[in-house]
Amino acid sequence: MKSDFIEKREIKIAYDLMSKFYDRGLALTRKIESLEEDCLKEIIGYLKKRILDLGCGTGRYTLRLSYEQSYIVAIDISTGMLSVLKDKTRSVKKDAFIDVINADAERIPVRNNAFDNIICTLAFDHFIDKERVVNECSRVLKREGAFLFSIFNKNLLKFYRKMMDVPEGKVIFRLNKKLRIILYEDSLDLKSVVKIFKERGFQGKMLTGCFPLPASFKKIGFSSRVNMLLNRIFRNYAVLYIFLFIKGGQ
């Protein structure tokens, strides 16, 4: 079994390698991002003031949030992904406040109670020691601050690994027809997520599953209603889950 250090190093190297074409390639990743964005669009605008974008990648949400008069700290373990983000920040408005930091989510180099909100999209499953990450997030988040994040359906990942013959705790990123990367990505079941956060003083405020829907539903503004119905009946079969926890909330 590989050490956490080696797993993290492989994740860093993989994303450094993918960074130059990450936003243009990886068709499956684009579809998953679109699915997640549909679920987040009604809540993302409520994140204001000082925000930590943890596992920010190339800044998909960093840049959007910077236009909301907020101060954003974007953290990622991959210097390659952060390099792409830095290039993007040159085109944002001059009064946007964005700091970019290369760091491990298990050791956030920021003072206590520094942020009003934390967002972590499609990155939490890559964290090796998830409990330690939540400890760090609790440390740097102000009381009543929000932690918004997404994870994959654990059962869906198990099915994917069986179909693709991928080792436990791993996923495949296909760079092209010949080249692929296998790296750590593993989710938790819903009860385990809630347990970890509650033990650290967080109160759950939202849990919603994300389901792929026909484009026609989006055009007529029907997707939110259908997603709500699917959550009531088929939540265990969602592709992704969106959580919102409040630190010290009642």
Which segments of the chain have a pLDDT < 70? Answer: 1-2, 68-69, 93-96, 214-223, 249-250
pTM of structure: 0.92
Domain extent at residue 200: 4-247
pLDDT at 95: 58
- The whole-number pLDDT of residue 179 equals 74
Indicate the number of domains in the chain.
Answer: 1
Supply the pLDDT for residue 220: 46
Give the number of other CB atoms < 10 A from CB of residue 71. 16
Whole-number pLDDT of residue 70: 77
User: Which CATH number characterizes residue 94's domain?
Assistant: 3.40.50.150
pLDDT number for residue 9: 94
**Res 249: pLDDT:** 57
